[in-house]
Amino acid sequence: MNLELGTDKILARIEDGVGWITINQPERRNAMSLAMWQGLGEAAEAMQANATVRVVVLHGAGGKSFAAGADISEFEQHRANAEQKLRYAEIASRAHRGLARLDKPLIAMVQGFCIGGGMALALAADLRFAGAGSRFGIPAARLGLGYEYEGLAALARLVGPSTAKDMLFSGRQIETDEALRLGLVNQVLPAEGLKDAVRAYAASVAANAPLTVQAAKAALRLFERYSAADDSAVAAAVDRCFDSADYQEGRRAFMEKRTPTFQGR
């Protein structure tokens, strides 16, 4: 059963107790536009509301990218400073809240690039299965923008603070062998067999007692709250990034396909 959403760049269907959400902009490596954030929120809410759905799989179309983060080409119009960032975040947060509120297991099926905001989506999942050759990274330091506390805390819980700092400070990309060793992904599978393997795994979860699975997820979600904290200082630092000349330079350099020159202001 296909679900109707407000954009054709996010697709949602239900198949034998498994909800499939597809990020559908392969021509731009599944970069997330503002409309796509809205559609992803709609899809997550629909999956939560449907009693026949017992597990949800999030993946990218085209086989070359899970999601290459936010669509940077929109930033001049929708995310050029801290004030615009707040309005942008209001829409994007609907997607993140929808995924976070799922009481059903969420699996990220990663094939290809999983970068920036795409990495944040993968981190929102309970489990991550990656096709061989996939790449992970958070290139914020190469653009001059800031990342919110919640997503970085999720990264640090998985890979540890030291590795999280390495990824964030360097902006480097991690390949699947390292991602598996670090605990960033649960399994690495041959690219050609990834979807069949994830479908089989999701079917096995869907066949289990749903109340037991939901109770387990609720308990582990409570356990993870140890990292909750007053993040106002982090939020102020992030706003400073978005209002900086460096962020303007990072956007221009990205669009002009050149190396940015940052001044720390």
Taking the CA atoms of 37, 25, 115 and 108 in sequence, report the sign of the dihedral they define.
positive
Residues 243-256 have a mean pLDDT of 79
pLDDT digits (tens, 9 = 90+) for 109-139: 999 999 988 999 999 999 999 999 999 999 8
- In the predicted model, what is the mean pLDDT of the chain? 88
Element (H, E) at 88: helix 82-100
Helix (H, G, I), strand (E, B) or coil at 65: strand
Asked if 179 and 188 count as a contact pair (C-beta separation under 8 A), the reply is: yes
Question: CB-based contacts of 258: which residues, under 8 Å, 6+ apart?
Answer: none
Q: Is the pLDDT of residue 82 over 70?
A: no
Q: Which residue has the tokens 């400070």?
A: 169
Residue 228 has pLDDT above 60, yes or no: no
**CATH fold label, 2-191:** 2-enoyl-CoA Hydratase; Chain A, domain 1 (3.90.226)
Please tell me the predicted confidence (pLDDT) of residue 231: 63
